Structure 1
Amino acid sequence: MKKKIIHTLVYSYEIPVLLEEHLICLKPRSNGFQKLCNFDLKVFPSSHTIFPVISENSDDTFKAYFTEPTNSLTIKAESDIETRIHPDLYHIKNNFDLSLPLKIESNNSLIGFIKGWFPNGQHDPAAIKIAQEALAGINNNVLDFLYQLIELIKDRVKYTPRHLGPAWTSGRTLSERVGSCRDLAILLMETCRCVGIPSRFVSGYQFLDQAPEKYELHAWTEVFIPGFGWRGFDPSGCGLINHNYVALASSSEPELAAPVRGSFVGPSNLKSELKWNIEIT
């Protein structure tokens, strides 16, 4: 399926400010599931320097430096991308051992993706509890675990949009019984890590057959499955992701997958505003 995505962000400030370094993560990946045919990035004001950076997860990002004060910042990314059918993992032969816990000790690049969500490296007790429930009654297989876990999450937590604030902890999401896509992505990520499944947070787009009044960025989780590699699962959507998803960036920390990160120098009480628009056709 071919898609054109135009993502525009406009930051406005009540007086001119000095923009500091900004990191822009709006270039879709190009891999076996999505082919990036064309990408164009425009940044205003024009008095800037921009160069590409490859992130720790091999995502294409851009670093921008600005030289003159401005009262606005506009970032516009246009992408032409072709997505491909995702095979159904539950019906594909895999000769690797998929029993839990997964045998990943020999792969040092995956160790960081099983650490606990808390700053001290420990796992959230709420995530441990729901992981134990998902393990009950299955054959200790990673795919069976993921299927049962996502069903549990959908039963316990109602998806609701939330634009402001960082992602919630697993405990808060489960106690509130509601959560945004980023909250649910963290819940799935943390619960998978409790049983030794490498997982990471992903930001991107989800194309809908019935277009909403306004598209927004979406978030889901990628888990590493021996023999299948990194595969996406959306606890606030269809479970195993399909060709309607376009990934931008991934990280162990959700804030590191934000579309734009940066700061500015100005008065402490300065008023600022962000407007965004995402067109997908």
Structure 2
Amino acid sequence: MKKKIIHTLVYTYEIPVTLDNHLICLKPRSNNFQKLSNFELKIYPSSYSIFPLLSENGDDIFKVVFTGSTNSFTIKAESEIETKIHSDLYQLKNDYDLSLPLKIESNNSLIGFINGWFPNGQHDPAAIKIAQEALVGINNNNVLDFLYQLIELIKDRVKYTPRHIGHAWTSGRTLSERVGSCRDLAILLMETCRCVGIPSRFVSGYQFMDEPPEKYELHAWTEVYIPGFGWRGFDPTGSGLINHNYVALASSSNSELVAPVRGSFVGPSKLKSELQWNIEIT
């Protein structure tokens, strides 16, 4: 499926401000599941220098250094991408041991992806509890059966609702509120998987709709590492295993590190500012 994505963000300030350095994370990955044929990043005002970076997970990030002052700041990212069909893991043969906990001790690069989400490295007790429920009744503690049952439990316990402002919630808060945005549910799935030793990470990107909404927004889901299958995406707000309607931008253990734009400005206290965004997918 070939798509063109135009993502525009416009920041306005009531008086001119000085922009600090910004990090922009709007370039889609290019891999076996999605092929990026063209990417163009336009930034206004034009008084800036740009430096390409790679994140700890190998995703493209742009560091922008501004000079002078401005009362508006515009970012426009244009991507042309082709998504590929995702194979159904539940139908594929896998000779690896998929029983939980997964055997990943020999792969040191994965150890950090099973640490608890809390700052002290501990797992959220609410995530541990729902993980234990998902383990009940599955055969041989198989990771794929666990993921299927876990996502069904999450969908039964938490109602998806858009939330544009604020950090991702902890698993405990999402489960107690019984509602959550896509980033809240992605954190819940990520943390719950880590409780049983499944490497997982938070993903930011786009999801195409057969019937386009009035306004597209960024989406978030979870990638888990399964021996023999590698990193694969699962969306607790959708049907579970992701398909060719998804385009990944970046991934991280910390949801804030894959925000489309990170930066600040220097100006008077209580200065009024406004953000408007638009995502076109054709």
1:261 maps to what in 2? Answer: 262
For these two proteins, the number of residue pairs brought into alignment is: 281
Deviation at residue 259 of structure 1 after TM alignment: 0.3
- Name the CA distance, whole Å, in 2 between partners of 1:100 and 1:238: 22
1:279 maps to what in 2? Answer: 280
Q: Secondary structure in 1 aligned to 2:128?
A: helix
1:50 maps to what in 2? Answer: 50
Deviation at residue 238 of structure 1 after TM alignment: 1.7
- Name the CA distance, whole Å, in 2 between partners of 1:176 and 1:23: 32
Deviation at residue 196 of structure 1 after TM alignment: 0.3
- Listed as ranges, the matches of 1:240-255 within 5 Å are 240-255=241-256
2:4 maps to what in 1? Answer: 4
- Name the CA distance, whole Å, in 2 between partners of 1:233 and 1:145: 12
2:77 maps to what in 1? Answer: 77
2:219 maps to what in 1? Answer: 218
Deviation at residue 50 of structure 1 after TM alignment: 0.4
Deviation digits for residues 84-106 of structure 1 (CA, Å, limit 9, x no counterpart): 00000000011111110001111
1:25 maps to what in 2? Answer: 25
- Listed as ranges, the matches of 1:90-109 within 5 Å are 90-109=90-109
* Matched-pair identity in %: 85
* Moved beyond 2 Å, runs of 4+: none
- Name the CA distance, whole Å, in 2 between partners of 1:243 and 1:167: 25
- Listed as ranges, the matches of 1:88-127 within 5 Å are 88-127=88-127
- The amino acid across from 1:251 in the alignment is S
- The amino acid across from 1:130 in the alignment is I
2:188 maps to what in 1? Answer: 187
Q: Normalized against structure 2, the TM-score is what?
A: 0.99
- Name the CA distance, whole Å, in 2 between partners of 1:124 and 1:188: 12
Q: Secondary structure in 1 aligned to 2:154?
A: helix
Instruction: Name stretches of at least 5 consecutive residues in structure 1 with no aligned partner.
Output: none
- Name the CA distance, whole Å, in 2 between partners of 1:202 and 1:251: 7
Q: Normalized against structure 1, the TM-score is what?
A: 0.99
- The amino acid across from 2:270 in the alignment is N
- Name the CA distance, whole Å, in 2 between partners of 1:237 and 1:136: 23
Deviation at residue 184 of structure 1 after TM alignment: 0.3
- Name the CA distance, whole Å, in 2 between partners of 1:55 and 1:120: 23
- Listed as ranges, the matches of 1:127-166 within 5 Å are 127-139=127-139, 140-166=141-167
- Name the CA distance, whole Å, in 2 between partners of 1:198 and 1:117: 12
- Name the CA distance, whole Å, in 2 between partners of 1:159 and 1:63: 33
Deviation at residue 108 of structure 1 after TM alignment: 1.0
Instruction: Name stretches of at least 5 consecutive residues in structure 2 with no aligned partner.
Output: none
- Listed as ranges, the matches of 1:171-182 within 5 Å are 171-182=172-183
